[in-house]
A and B are shown apart, each in its own frame.
Chain A
């Protein structure tokens, strides 16, 4: 049992490293070329010192030329190796990033609404963009730097020691000091990095709210209040940033101090050795160079640790997304035929994470194929929650929802959602032309079909008045359109799907009464066989329905045609009166 659960957990753990696997060839090639480059880098100081010692000091011009040309050729080879390493490293890293990005996006596209709600839109976007890029850059850097620095370090150490073992003394002192300093500073800096990220999020959040809610800020003359709010967040960010910076600022002087004093020590030791006749002058130069290499590579390693800290945070955020199993599992049944009946059987539901407070309780409702059923209910009574169960935005906690007699959980999701078109309360349009947006319903629809769908949705009348008609470009989120126009385009989009069931979630609220009546009429004549489930607030919108379901505090209390309800349902009469009070008398 325990073993099994560990095994399961292991399977559930997502490793980002699998995304580098297809490019492992390049990922291995890059460090190999880096080895070439490092070797040549390590040879250079020796060559240079030989040029001085054997050439310049000895006054031997041919040797200068010979060694010089050898050095240039080596530099060329080293450069080529470096370029190749960079290319392969980037090739692997960018492909890794690209695959990872695709994987995360695909995962997000498979998540259930419940899960995207939990992550929040903003966070998902950051994870997909910022965090993936962070990991991608990190891989690229690992392939170049993590190989380079330790290699340089080891190579430098080796070369320095071959020059004269006594230089080891210097390193034995300076290395631990340097490593200790780096570790202490980075350990302190680590939590601060996370803090900076959080503070930046706050700054962005205030900004975003103000851009989106500018009208309310202005209407309530709260600009100064918002400016103060922003200043608080901004100052907070600055202060945290300064804290990190002050800490990190200590790193550079400490390191350069250790480095420079190591150089002094090398010269000092060299001095004694030369005095004792054990060493040549040129070798001191070389030793200085190698000590510099060793210390610099340490500096690079410490910098890499900084980026590990940052990248690991991003990797964690990505893994959180990747290891999410879609809560809504795809079913097997692909039966797209049927007359479009919907049945709620003893359905109870509460939103995930809000334990114990059911939104829907023991709901029973059967909608026959081709029927037109309206749902009326108070604010917060569970209307939207109810219809969300049909298209499986959420799953029931108890009971069953059947479409054409089959449990929605057994359906293939595409088939199910193809059968039932859902029109949201808040219409969502996408950047593209009007026609593009309507074609979301059916990509292969002809222009004629698109126009026809728009006509039924009463959208043609305003679309054809646009200068570019159906080719009019809609901005992000359709800000250039009025609420009623957006709703009608969304309705046209649903109609184009030719669904068996159409679900209107208060999606005609921004239409004026006349237009709405026209739309209802068109639906009735053009889509006779389509089951319509319509949530609405206006009695006029629901009066002509075959039946009207009354939902109160999560249960359906009555369901009958208008006349019947008017007679027996106090609630309905109440709603009716609230809207039509006195109307009858006048119209008479």
Chain B
């Protein structure tokens, strides 16, 4: 009895562990976020997902076979042990004391073998789990790396992260513990039943009375528990996302004195979480005692029936002894299956969230038939391009633009007029709805994305630097660059002076949030990165918005040189930075409103003139 009881304790531990690991699931269900990000209450396609999961585990075929083989052996040895114990006690009862030694020697051999096999089982199971998780994570990451930008733009980052860590971890736990114990539970169940039947079919029938009770109890409890656990996880999700938001936006919280309000909100969610968790744990806690109860009733019934049969002389005492041991062993796997059941459901739900990403169409899907462009001249044309991020809210409506190789084009327009969209489309971060974009006369849809992007150097509005050294960050687009080239790029971007002043120069590690650099300095580094790439087409999207104008001017003098022989697209609010452009385009309402060089546009006295006058209004006198 005690052995079984302790198994319950182990399960409690394991369940706890699993619950802790799944405790950090992504954000709250978005109020109007995309549907698939909502918290799943039930796996949609349980069997399909299970099948795929099994396929994943099956990738390490030999490991799996070895594990199953070892487990079958352990289960068989486990079945033989009580029989041997029973026989030994029988022998003692019958006074065959010498015979006891032989039996115990066999039992010892059994235990020795079983322990050795248990070691291998542990090794195989953890290897299988680690291998599966490793492959799953790698596959998922590779998948995400090639997903269109739209994916990361429209999904909560916390949720993607959560799938990568918590959901995969959930699967791992199940592979390493649940599958093994489920499998051995089934084998033990069948084996025990067979042995029990071989002893006495009548007693077996009596023992089986507890089975429906166990199954019913497990089903009932797990359905109640699931409800609370799901609610608990959901609340935990919003708790975590509140923390995430408030901590990452802490400066604003402080500046607006919202600490108190934020604490209140936190305490509120925290209270909800606690109350739900108490209920969930309460129901979880009744499982063990209930099973214990059912087990004891079964034991009593067998003892009563056994006593009755012994009285009638139908069965020997030793057989009853053994049978009673088997009765205990019989309820254990059923409990086990019941306990694992909810974990497995959880893992399948996790696997489903993982597979959901895997099933998204990646951008390199039809890559193979695409053209690789080697030597790009840099002629770009947009023809009747229409595009909308959201249906019914078009951003570009029949946009036309011809850029000859080597030309310098500036794009101006109001906030939200679609300037950045043009960049998104040319780099194929997004695909156009209608019309066509040509590079050197070739539709960019036919050019492989990698070779298209390699020919474009891009400096973005939001600087992205990786937590790596300054050098690695600047060499990001061209890892084989020499030190001289690196130095040249830094000098070019006017970044050399401050980089030298950093504690470890080029080898200084940038921090997570880049807090050891000012926003302007970060921009200079990303310019250096683009410079080092030496692309045919250069795109500067507000690349210098946080750089002071004198530094910018210095960069620009160099830029002029850089831009020679290159096609450049410049998006900027500062007219001073774009005045020298060959062509200036004023975007309005998703089309080109005005086009021409600086003087022409001024003479037009239209939109550009207005923008210009606003900036220099103070100068008119």
Contacts and interface: CB of A to CB of B under 8 A. Distances in A.
Contact of A87 (B285, B317, B523): B285
Contacts of B152: 211, 214
B-side interface size class: 35 or more
Contact of B303 (A56, A219, A377): A56
Contacts of B612: 583, 587
B274 to A, nearest CB: 4
B261 A443 contact: yes
A59 B310 contact: yes
Nearest to B548: A378
A194 interface: no
B6 A64 contact: no
Contact of A98 (B116, B118, B274): B274
Interface in A12-28: none
B92 A274 contact: yes
Interface in B90-112: 92-93, 95, 97, 100-101, 104, 107-108, 111-112
Interface string B605-621: 00000111111111110
Interface stretch (B25-33, B204-212, B337-345): B25-33
Contacts of A110: 259
A223 to B, nearest CB: 4
A384 B274 CA distance: 42
A292 B123 contact: no
B138 A231 contact: yes
Contacts of B482: none
B285 A218 contact: no
Interface stretch (B48-56, B293-301, B558-566): B293-301
A177 interface: no
Contact of B255 (A87, A122, A391, A513): A391
Contacts of A5: none
Interface string B532-566: 01000000001001111111110000000000000
Interface stretch (B59-67, B139-147, B347-355, B399-407): B139-147
A250 B119 contact: yes
B157 A211 contact: yes
B289 A587 contact: no
Given A128-B247, A203-B137, A230-B138, A223 B476 contact: no
Contacts of A473: 31-32
A222 interface: yes
A41 B569 CA distance: 79
B286 interface: yes
B281 A94 contact: yes
Nearest to B116: A253
A446 interface: no
A540 B615 contact: yes
Interface in A204-236: 204-205, 207-223, 225-227, 230-231, 234-235
A79 B273 CA distance: 27
Contacts of A543: 618
A-side interface size class: 35 or more
Contacts of B546: 379, 425, 506, 509, 537
A214 B303 CA distance: 67
Contact of A234 (B33, B101, B137, B619): B137
Contact of B6 (A90, A263, A300): A300
Interface string B186-198: 0000000000000
Contacts of A210: 141, 144-145
Interface stretch (B222-230, B379-387, B412-420): B412-420
Nearest to B277: A94
Contacts of B512: 120-122, 205
Interface in A182-210: 200, 203-205, 207-210
Contact of B616 (A57, A260, A380, A540): A540
Interface in A230-257: 230-231, 234-235, 237-238, 241-242, 245-246, 248-250, 252-254, 256-257
Contacts, number: 511
A219 B149 CA distance: 10
**B2, B24, B119, B614 interface centre (most CB from chain A within 10 Å):** B2
A25 B152 CA distance: 49
B68 interface: no
Contacts of B201: none
B247 A125 contact: yes
B476 A220 contact: yes
A365 interface: no
A217 B145 contact: yes
Contacts of B427: 218-219
Contacts of A133: 20, 23
A514 interface: yes
A31 interface: no
B86 to A, nearest CB: 10
B282 A517 contact: no
Contacts of A408: none
A41 B5 contact: yes
Nearest to A291: B2
Given A249-B123, A538-B615, A587 B620 contact: yes
Interface in B309-351: 310-311, 317, 320-321, 324
B602 A216 contact: no
**B244, B285, B289 interface centre (most CB from chain A within 10 Å):** B289
Contacts of A410: none
Interface string A421-437: 11011101011000000
Contacts of B545: 509-510, 537
Contact of B241 (A48, A205, A377, A476): A476
B388 interface: no
Contact of A513 (B119, B281, B611): B611
B2 A417 contact: no
B304 A129 contact: no
**B89, B176, B266 interface centre (most CB from chain A within 10 Å):** B89
Given A102-B270, A121-B513, 16 more contacts: A121-B250, A129-B243, A133-B20, A144-B12, A203-B137, A209-B467, A223-B145, A226-B145, A264-B108, A271-B88, A271-B104, A272-B97, A379-B546, A380-B518, A506-B519, A512-B611
Sorted from nearest, which 6 A-B pairs have the closest CB atoms?
A249-B122, A86-B285, A484-B415, A379-B520, A79-B289, A245-B126
10 contacts: A48-B303, A72-B296, A121-B513, A215-B149, A216-B476, A241-B126, A303-B13, A513-B611, A540-B614, A581-B576
